[in-house]
């Protein structure tokens, strides 16, 4: 959920400026001053279709068996970057969401998880360069995504379960989307215990579909 060389969740190229803005515009983005904003194209009871503008992120890759093992290592690496481990020695404001590209693999296999922090608006044009060779600046193109949300903690099981549910729903309405990889998206600090907001994103291919499943399919 994300750049051309790594997190390739998004393929649909349009034209627009970066939209990193006030978190008050999103009801579920409450912990950081700025968030990644989007245009809502359409919505069903199961998912939303969103349009996101091209933006810059700071990213890192972590090879691991499980999401739970990769997240703390990757998060710490990126947190050091925004805490001043960059060529300008500048502290950078935290934003939301944090996006993780989930590798396509069997549970017993290792895979590359790519975590990305959204850069705040003041650093979108010219972000400080990382001093850690495992950290890099990357762009997402303009994109449309199918997004579904869920609460609780982002884990291997919860992400896989919700991704499978969204995939089945999209298949049932014959939507075209990039099935691999998908993005796991989080809006909350690890310190928050309750009322957490997580999402699953799949990149839209072709024209987006906003249809409810037929009654025959839901029975």
pLDDT tens-digit readout, 119-138:
999 999 999 999 999 999 99
| CB of 23 closer than 8 Å to CB of 34 | yes
Residues 3-32 have a mean pLDDT of 64
- pLDDT score at 215: 52
| CB of 127 closer than 8 Å to CB of 56 | yes
Torsional sign, CA 183, 184, 188, 189: negative
For 68, other C-beta atoms within 10 Å of its C-beta total 13
Q: How far is CA 75 from CA 22, 68, 173, in A?
A: 23, 11, 36
Beta strand pairing call for 135-140 and 98-102 = unpaired
What DSSP letter does each residue of 22-71 carry, written as one string? EGGGSTT--SSSEEE--EEEEE-SS-EEEEE--EEEEEEEEEESSHHHHH
Residues 67-79 have a mean pLDDT of 97
| CB of 198 closer than 8 Å to CB of 154 | yes
Of the pLDDT bands very low, low, confident and very high (cuts 50, 70, 90), residue 212 is confident
pLDDT of 213 strictly over 70: no
Of the pLDDT bands very low, low, confident and very high (cuts 50, 70, 90), residue 81 is very high
Residues 25-41 have a mean pLDDT of 95
For 95, other C-beta atoms within 10 Å of its C-beta total 24
pLDDT of 18 strictly over 70: no
Of the pLDDT bands very low, low, confident and very high (cuts 50, 70, 90), residue 40 is very high
pLDDT tens-digit readout, 146-198:
999 999 999 999 999 999 999 999 999 999 999 999 999 999 998 899 999 99
Question: What domains can be seen in the chain, in order of their start residue?
Answer: 50-206 (3.20.80.10)
């Amino acid at each position: 959920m994300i750049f051309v060389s790594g997190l390739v969740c998004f393929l649909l190229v349009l034209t627009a400026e970066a939209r990193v803005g006030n978190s008050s515009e999103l009801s579920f983005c409450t912990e950081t001053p700025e968030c990644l904003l989007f245009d809502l194209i359409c919505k069903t009871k199961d998912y939303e279709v969103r349009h996101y503008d091209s933006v810059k992120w700071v990213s890192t890759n972590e090879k691991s068996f499980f999401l739970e093992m990769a997240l703390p290592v990757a998060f710490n690496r990126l947190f050091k970057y925004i805490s001043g481990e960059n060529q300008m020695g500048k502290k950078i404001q935290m934003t939301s969401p944090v996006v993780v590209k989930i590798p396509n693999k069997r549970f017993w296999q290792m895979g590359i998880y790519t975590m990305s922090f959204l850069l705040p608006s003041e650093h979108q044009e010219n972000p400080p360069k990382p001093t850690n060779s495992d950290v890099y600046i990357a762009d997402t193109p303009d994109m449309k995504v199918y997004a579904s949300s869920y609460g609780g903690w982002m884990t291997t099981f919860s992400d896989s379960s919700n991704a499978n549910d969204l995939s089945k729903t999209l298949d049932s309405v014959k939507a075209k989307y990039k099935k691999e990889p998908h993005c796991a998206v989080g809006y909350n600090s690890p310190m928050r215990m309750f009322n957490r907001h997580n999402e699953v994103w799949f990149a839209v291919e072709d024209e987006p579909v906003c249809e409810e499943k037929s009654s025959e399919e839901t029975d």
